[in-house]
Structure formats: C-alpha cells, structure tokens
Amino acid sequence: MSQTNLVSHELSRLESRENNIDGTVDWYAAYTRFRCEKRVAEMLEYYRVEHYLPLYEAVHLWKHRKARLQLALFPSYVFVRLDLRDRRTILTVPGVIRLVGHPRPAPLSGREVEAIRDYLSRGLPVKPYPYLTTGRLVHIRTGPLAGLEGIILRRKSACRVVINLNPIRQAMVVELPASDLEPISAPTSCPRAA
C-alpha cells in the first residue's frame, strides 16, 4: 500500500471513529430549501437513495376554481435512510442544505417514520400543525400510529391528536377514536428537541 493510500485510509478510519459512525442505517431529516422538497425527492430517487417525503392533500381556490394539491406535511424536510458514511451524497443533492442535528446528524425514530408512512398510505386525514410543548400526553394504543405519543387537543367521539417530531420541531394533527388512546399523565411539558 502506498504512503498516500495509507494516510488516506488512516484519516478515514479516524474520522469514522471521531464521528461515531458504525455502519448502521438510520432515518435522518434532510433540511431543504423552501418549497424544494419534491425536487429533492426526485433527485434522491435518481441517486437511488432511500427516502420518504410525507405529503398531504390540500384544496386551494384560485380564480374561482378549486385545485387539489399534494403538499409537504413537514415543510422543508425530506426523510432519508442511510449510513452516515454516505452523507456526502445527500449533501451534494441540489436543494439540500444539511442533515438535521448538531454537532453531527441525529437519527430519527425509525418507528415514527414508518408509522407516519403507514398512516398516510391509508389515505387517512392529516394536516400540519404548530409544534406543541405543553398539553395532555396520550399514548396511541391501536391503529397505524400505535406506539406513538401525542398531545390531545379535543375529546369527543373522535379526538384531535398532535404528534410532534421533536428533532425537526414540526408536528401533524390527526383524528383518532378516543378508544385508541390512553392518558400518560396530567397536563405537562413535552420533551424538547435535542
């Protein structure tokens, strides 16, 4: 092995150890330029990077006509699943600003990402909602979002529940039957993003 290759190999090994990169594949949030989520998702598809762009349907009125649009549920974010050693590929995609986390990218809960994907694949109603830090915490017992926690907004036969994604400080609101929920505690503060 030449001296140059040896030095390069050693630097790569040290960088991997320093960044605690162990070869695991996790979900990360890629922060994108404003309204570039769909374009970034197309480029990730081109580069064959596993990704997920949660979309919801909204109706807009323009000049006396209604239009149904597919909008990003979490504006300026696309979820990518990768080994951190491959993050340079993501960062070279036009429209991607950075991977979320400081000082290094922080993985998302794979369970949350898959639950959101399952929920949206069923065509169930969902909307973006402001990130909440206080309220009555509930545990979702059944359904596609089972295992997640949320903050209850309204109780009747169906409850509006806000589900926060703490690492990106974004949230979504869904309606669930009250029977699917169990209280966790009295009104309290929710955990803050790391």
Q: Residues with Cβ < 8 Å from 9, sequence gap 6 or more? A: 1
Which residue ranges form the domains of the chain, and what is each CATH number? 20-108 (3.30.70.940), 127-189 (2.30.30.30)
Stated pTM of the model: 0.81
Lowest mean pLDDT among 9-13, 36-40, 173-177: 9-13
Distances (CA, A) of 154 to 108, 138, 159, 162: 28, 12, 5, 10
pLDDT digits (tens, 9 = 90+) for 105-149: 999 999 999 999 999 999 999 999 999 999 999 999 999 999 999
pLDDT average, residue stretch 17-39: 82
Task: Tell me the one-letter amino acid at 113.
Answer: V
* pLDDT on residue 10: 42
pLDDT digits (tens, 9 = 90+) for 32-87: 999 999 999 999 999 999 999 999 999 988 888 899 999 999 999 999 999 999 99
Q: Answer whether 50's CB lies under 8 Å from 41's CB.
A: no
